Amino acid sequence: METMRKKYPVAFKAKVALEAIKEEKTSAELASQYGVHPAQIRRWRKTVKDGVNGLFTDNHQRKDKEKNLLIEELYKEVGQLKVELEWLKKKCGLGREGESYAYRAPR
């Protein structure tokens, strides 16, 4: 027989975890009050405690890192396109830099 897992709303998890962090009641007392296994309450509490550290990190550092990665990718793409353009010019018989890039019909 297959048992279905319970899915708890995020607000409920947060409420129980915050009560666990307050430590006014034991995990067992909270478990009986909310109908959740004590181990689950401890996991939610740990998740909240670990996640709080991320709230106070500098978001600018993360954004700058993402921006630098994007710039790096764009420079690579521009370089690749330049190489492809030069190859196409060479294959089509078009002149080098400074010369006219008008199409020349093959003779």
- The pLDDT-based confidence of 17 (bands split at 50, 70, 90) is very high
Domain ranges of the chain: 10-55, 58-94
Q: Chain-wide mean pLDDT for the chain?
A: 86
Q: What is the pLDDT of residue 10?
A: 93
Decide if pLDDT at 24 tops 60.
Answer: yes
The per-residue pLDDT for range 36-89, each reduced to its tens digit, is 999 999 999 999 988 887 777 777 777 888 899 999 999 999 999 999 999 999
The pTM (predicted TM-score) of the whole model is 0.51
Q: Which of 89, 71, 11 is nearest to 44 (CA)?
A: 11
Q: Which amino acid is at 27?
A: S
Tell me how far apart the alpha carbons of residues 35 and 31 are, in angstroms, rounded to a whole number. 5
Q: What is the pLDDT of residue 72?
A: 96
